[in-house]
């Protein structure tokens, strides 16, 4: 999205986060699912895991996340910025909890609603809403506080993470848990790493800026969330970057499929020609993300906390 003025500076990205989300996550939704897969977060690999067995890694990752938020004790779970809803559906299938997924993107939620089509999964709901304004939600699913919330690979897009954390905390019961996993940056990247890797990456992703682990420690405390553990998972997600890179190469190698072309054209009609540029930019993103991860400046951080 480099040519789009609404992503030119961190300030513009913060100010126009909703419009940028419409392009990145609404218009390109199906493209992401075709090339990346259903889970729009990274699989965490344990030592000895087969890096090629993605399905097994995701299964273990989700089991680990569910255990972190309390396992069977979590009777009501909020999936914050749930995207296409695959994790919400996984949680609904592996618990008897009521699971509510919230996302602002209509494109992502259209995908998510397939998980509940035909009355399947009566313990799963999806609600369209801005995470920055979780306090506005009056839907029946929000009348009772949640035992747990999970937010994967999404907080980086929020224009004011501290305010969002406060809003999420307010939806939890006292003692309720939040597991947040996010792309962060290293504490002290060099000036060139900032200029040549982090800044373009943020621009392409329409992210104002990336948090640091220390920044999260401060924001969680300010939001009334006591941290149980903070883990840097970067070394355990390495196979994902290669996967993204290979998927990007494959996308260029294949003839464009008619269905994808039509979807992009529909997106362009609705949101303007920037959609086509944004789709092409995803190739640069894959290169930059791999470089950022391999140089150690992009970190994948998990924070488990409890509402005080
Ligand atoms: C990379 S996807 C992750 C989706 C999901 N958590 C997963 O792991 O599969 C990021 C999601 O954050 C959502 N998002 C970003 N900003 C948001 C906001 N302000 N309110 C609600 N959703 C938002 C996007 O629409 C997108 O679906």
Q: What is the pLDDT of residue 256?
A: 64
82 Cβ closer than 6 Å to some ligand 1 atom: yes
Q: What's the domain count of the chain?
A: 1
41 Cβ closer than 6 Å to some ligand 1 atom: yes
Task: Give the residue-averaged pLDDT of 267-275.
Answer: 63
Determine the Cα–Cα distance for residues 10 and 12; give it in Å rounded to an integer: 6
Q: pLDDT of 33-45, one tens digit each? A: 877 789 999 999 9
For residue 134, report the distance from its CA to the centre of ligand 1, in Å. 14
Beta strands, E only, 205-252: 225-232
| Residue 134, pLDDT above cutoff 60 | yes
**Global pTM?**
0.92
The Cα angle at residue 126 between residues 120 and 130, in degrees rounded to 5? 170
Give the position, in ligand 1's atom list, of the atom nearest the Cα of 40.
Answer: 9
205 Cβ closer than 6 Å to some ligand 1 atom: no
| Residue 1, pLDDT above cutoff 60 | no
Determine the Cα–Cα distance for residues 238 and 272; give it in Å rounded to an integer: 35
Which helix H or strand E contains 30, and what residues bound it? helix 29-35
Confidence of residue 260 (pLDDT cuts 50, 70, 90): low
With pLDDT > 90 as the criterion, what percentage of the chain qualifies? 71
Closest among 282, 157, 131 to 209, alpha carbons compared:
157
Determine the Cα–Cα distance for residues 61 and 57; give it in Å rounded to an integer: 6
Biggest CA pair distance of the chain? 54
Query: 228-242, 251-265, 273-287: which range is least confident on average?
Result: 251-265
81 Cβ closer than 6 Å to some ligand 1 atom: yes
| Residue 233, pLDDT above cutoff 60 | yes
Contact by Cβ (8 Å): 34, 260: yes
Query: When comparing pLDDT for 22 and 54, which is higher?
Result: 54
| Mean pLDDT computed over every residue of the chain | 90
Q: Which domain holds residue 41?
A: 5-307
Handedness of CA 11, 16, 21, 27 (dihedral sign): negative
What is the SS3 assignment for 46?
coil
CATH number at residue 158: 3.40.50.150
Rg of the Cα atoms in the chain? 18
With pLDDT > 70 as the criterion, what percentage of the chain qualifies? 91
């Amino acid at each position: 999205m480099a040519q789009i003025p609404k992503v030119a500076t961190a300030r513009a990205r913060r100010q126009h986060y909703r419009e940028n989300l419409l392009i990145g996550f609404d218009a390109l939704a199906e493209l992401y699912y075709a090339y990346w897969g259903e889970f729009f977060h990274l699989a965490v690999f344990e030592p000895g895991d087969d890096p090629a067995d993605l399905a097994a890694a995701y299964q273990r990752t989700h089991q680990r996340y569910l255990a972190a938020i309390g396992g069977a004790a979590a009777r009501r779970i909020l999936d914050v910025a749930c995207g296409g809803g695959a994790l919400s559906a996984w949680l609904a299938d592996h618990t008897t909890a009521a699971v509510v997924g919230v996302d602002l993107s209509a494109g992502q939620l259209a995908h998510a609603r397939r998980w509940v089509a035909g009355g399947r999964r009566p313990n799963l709901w999806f609600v369209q809403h801005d995470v920055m304004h979780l306090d506005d939600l009056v839907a029946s699913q929000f009348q009772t506080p949640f035992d747990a919330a999970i937010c994967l690979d999404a907080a980086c897009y929020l224009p004011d993470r501290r305010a969002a954390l406060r809003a999420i905390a307010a939806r939890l019961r006292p003692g309720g848990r939040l597991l947040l996993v996010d792309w962060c940056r290293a504490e002290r990247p060099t000036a060139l790493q900032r200029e040549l890797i982090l800044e373009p990456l943020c621009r392409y992703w329409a992210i104002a800026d990336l948090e640091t682990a220390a920044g999260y420690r401060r924001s969680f405390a300010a939001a009334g969330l006591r941290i149980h553990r903070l883990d840097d998972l970067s070394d355990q997600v390495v196979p994902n970057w290669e996967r993204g890179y290979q998927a990007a190469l494959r996308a260029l190698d294949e003839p464009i499929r008619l269905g994808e072309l039509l979807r992009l054209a529909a997106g362009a009609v609705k949101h303007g020609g920037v959609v086509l540029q944004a789709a092409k930019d995803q190739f640069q993103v894959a290169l930059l993300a791999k470089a950022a991860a391999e140089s150690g400046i992009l970190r994948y951080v998990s924070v488990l906390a409890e509402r005080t």
